[in-house]
Amino acid sequence: MKKNVIAGNWKMHKTNREALRLVTRLMKLMEKHPPRKTEVVVCPPFTALAPVAELLKGSAIRLGAQNIFWEEEGAFTGEVAARMVRGAGARYVIIGHSERRRYFKEDESVINKKIQLALKNKLQVIHCVGETLEERRHNLTQDIIINQLEWGLKGLTGDDFKKVVIAYEPVWAIGTGKTATPEQAQEVHAFIREILNTLYGNQVGSRITIVYGGSVKPENAAGLLSQPDVNRALVGGACLDARSFFKIIQASETT
């Protein structure tokens, strides 16, 4: 069933000491005003997963990883397996982020393998989809979204979809300061629901959580999160400051 999720993708930021300081500040803010209808997830770099997990014990904040490799284990220098991040305390994992697609050439086949492996290891998946500015200018948004959903989620069962969150992240709005208007976000989110219902049946699209990502800030959060098909947000830069991230959580609680 749909739930409201605010997840913070820290990307390549924060040493362990800085990570613990940020999470401590966030926990103190949430203790004063605990969210009632929003699941909060923080996704630090791999190096900080274990110490942050220890700090979060007994907290309402969930821990996520930013990526996994597509094999269980093996001679893959520098890669991290799903069971490793699960063992470090993560319960979520981001898969298919546009930066992974762009810089590491991950295609839908690789992304599908990662999603299957994450689910096998009892990780909840945040599956990122979205179009580039050039693709939007050529009216290819829907085609891109269909391809990413059809092939990225290939082979999933009805129960699998209960453990998947879709993050619509227009690539042209990630780290650029540009943001889709609330109306643009709502239009694509509604389309995603429609396509998921068509591709996978059983009202998968109607029931799944779909969050928006792309320069979400305290200043624009309320407008975006008030849209009927936007089940909150995957936050980038604004999650690196506890107070800024908490303001977005508060916007989720009041919209």
Distance CA 55, CA 243 (A): 18
- Helix H or strand E segment including 33: none
Catalytic residue among 99, 106, 108, 169: 169
One DSSP character per residue, 107-136 reads -HHHHHHHHHHHHHTTPEEEEEE---HHHH
Any idea which residue has 């949430």 for tokens? Answer: 30
Q: Contact, 212 vs 189, CB < 8 A?
A: yes
Distance CA 48, CA 43 (A): 9
Q: What angle do CA 167, 173, 174 make, to 5 degrees?
A: 70
The answer to whether 138 is a known catalytic residue is: no
Distance from the first to the final alpha carbon of the chain:
19
- CA-based nearest residue to 152, from 92, 212, 196: 196
| β-bridge mates for residue 129, sequence order | 168
Catalytic residue among 97, 99, 127, 131: 97
The answer to whether 33 is a known catalytic residue is: no
- Helix H or strand E segment including 190: helix 182-200
Distance CA 132, CA 127 (A): 17
Catalytic residue ranges: 97, 169
